[in-house]
Amino acid sequence: MTGIDDEPRILLIDDLRSFADGRTAAVARTSAAGVALLERYRGRRVDELWLDHDLGGADTIWPVVEVLERAAFDEHPFDIGVVNIHSANPAGAATMAQALRRWGYRVRLAAGSPDVAYRGDPTATT
């Protein structure tokens, strides 16, 4: 039997990119899917959370950031080792980092990181 404890502890929320090395991760391609993914991990350790700012069309990461902020405001922040912001949008990345750091999340700006790349089917989720 498999359950959430067997699932990857790395989450990626990005509309187009995946991990260049093919590492196992739970992936969401929209903000709504990102919020649902976070909810699956509420109360559980996440080693790495990778966030892109622009998620296609008018969709952005802000609904996800708001869930993280609300959890911290309610004194139940998500247990995340590090939030990696790999967005190519410098203004969006800086604003995300500022918001999440304000609530005590450990944030690393990772724009241009070789860890994420455009590859595979951008609509696929795992």
pLDDT digits over 42-89, tens only? 999 999 999 999 999 999 999 999 999 999 999 999 999 999 999 999
Question: What pLDDT score does 112 carry?
Answer: 83
What is the average pLDDT across 103-111? 94
Asked whether the predicted pLDDT for residue 30 surpasses 60, the reply is yes
- DSSP state string for 85-122: E--S-HHHHHHHHHHHHHTT--EEE-TT-TTEEE-S-T
Share of the chain above pLDDT 90, in %: 75
Q: Which residue has the higher pLDDT, 80 or 24?
A: 80
